[in-house]
Amino acid sequence: MASVLVVVPLGRLHMRPVQRWVASLKLSPTHRHRQVLVSMACVHALRPWRRTGFLTKGVAMGTVMARRVITTDASLVGWGATHEGRTVSGTWSLLMQSAHINYLELLAVSLALKHFLPLLRGQHVLVRTDNTTVVAYINRQGGLRSRHLNTLAHRLIVWSSSHLLSLRATHVPGTRNWGADLLSRGSPRYKDWKIRPGSSRSLRVRRKHTVPDVLLPDRPERPDGGEWPQVLLYAFPPIELITPTLARVRERGHALILIAPRWLGKHWLAEIYQLLCAQPWPLPLRRDLLSRAHGEIFHPHPERMALWAWPVRGGI
């Protein structure tokens, strides 16, 4: 069996039951001659290896030039996954929260693949995960250490063989698994979103055609701390810091392009209108307008944010 694994479709997967049976015998190198009872489970596992069609079907050869990539992660609270800026996440039931983290990580892969199937069907797929056990159980089509993991891996590999061209997994350090890790611990809040890299520098005040000279942090923790230069500024503060930011603009005469939602009825919207020094404009809608986790996650509904650029100036 081992000699033909690479040319038999799902060869390793079909060899696992036989390996498990052999392991259950607890043989040692000193047992050169020993009678053993062949179980019905072993007989059943050997049946495919007796079929000529199974052994001669063959596998695709050559190098895979491109793969669709999904990134997954799981915690004891929930799971999350990303694919080209798209996201999916969920929470575990109380029963599932008691499961081993390796099982949850592999289950997260299965859930993510099924969710993104309309985009992955018939494609070569690469799974990025920070769990090395999951990488091994996918690439080696199961394993012997954990029966539960092997059963879940078996279901996943069989399912993927009928929906995908191929499935591989690779390890990504946990410190760089930004998007999926964030989703596995809860959905991003408003203050977690950032304007697409490069968008802030391309903002232009209509008519004047000037760009911001200094970009303030998207999340200024203390708008009253430190000195702001007397040049055209840009800021995309959290909701709770919009009013303090406007107060500083008013008191110190700053010129600022403020990025804030045009949500009617909010008290800070009236404050913005009082400080307007030019015509505001809506930010152009695009799929990657707002991102999180180093650009791995795109906001699913940027239109709901209704973000506008508000040119404001103090001392008017």
Tens digits of per-residue pLDDT, 140-168?
999 988 999 999 999 999 999 999 999 99
Confidence category of residue 206, pLDDT binned at 50, 70, 90:
very low
Percent of the chain with pLDDT over 70: 85
Least confident segment among 49-63, 249-263, 280-294: 280-294
Average pLDDT over residues 52-69: 87
Domains in the chain with CATH codes: 2-56 (no CATH), 68-184 (3.30.420.10), 190-313 (no CATH)
Residue 284, sorted as left (phi over 0), alpha (psi -120 to 50) or beta, turns out to be beta
Is the Cβ–Cβ distance between 276 and 158 less than 8 Å? no
Note whether 167 and 157 are within 8 A (CB).
yes
Percent of the chain with pLDDT over 90: 35
What is residue 225's predicted lDDT score, i.e. its pLDDT? 54
Query: In the numeric block, which tokens belong to residue 258?
Result: 């403020």
pLDDT digits (tens, 9 = 90+) for 87-111: 888 999 988 989 999 999 999 999 9
Nearest-angstrom CA–CA distance, 256 and 275: 10
Contact 22, 16 (CB under 8 A): no
Q: Are 214 and 233 in contact (CB under 8 A)?
A: yes
Q: Is the pTM of this model over 0.75?
A: no
State the CB neighbour count (10 A cutoff) for residue 37.
Answer: 6
Q: What is the pLDDT of residue 219?
A: 46
Asked if 101 contacts 129 with a C-beta cutoff of 8 angstroms, the reply is no
Name the token pair of 193.
Answer: 């979103």
Rounded-to-integer distance, Cα 79 and Cα 197, Å: 27
- Residue 140 pLDDT: 92
Q: Is residue 305 scored above 80 in pLDDT?
A: yes
pLDDT at residue 173, rounded to an integer: 86
**Confidence check: pLDDT of 216 > 70:** no
The answer on pLDDT for 27 being more than 70 is yes
Regarding beta strands 124-129 and 68-74, do their DSSP bridges make them parallel or antiparallel, or are they unpaired?
parallel
Instruction: Indicate the residue type of 247.
Output: A
At 203 the pLDDT is 57
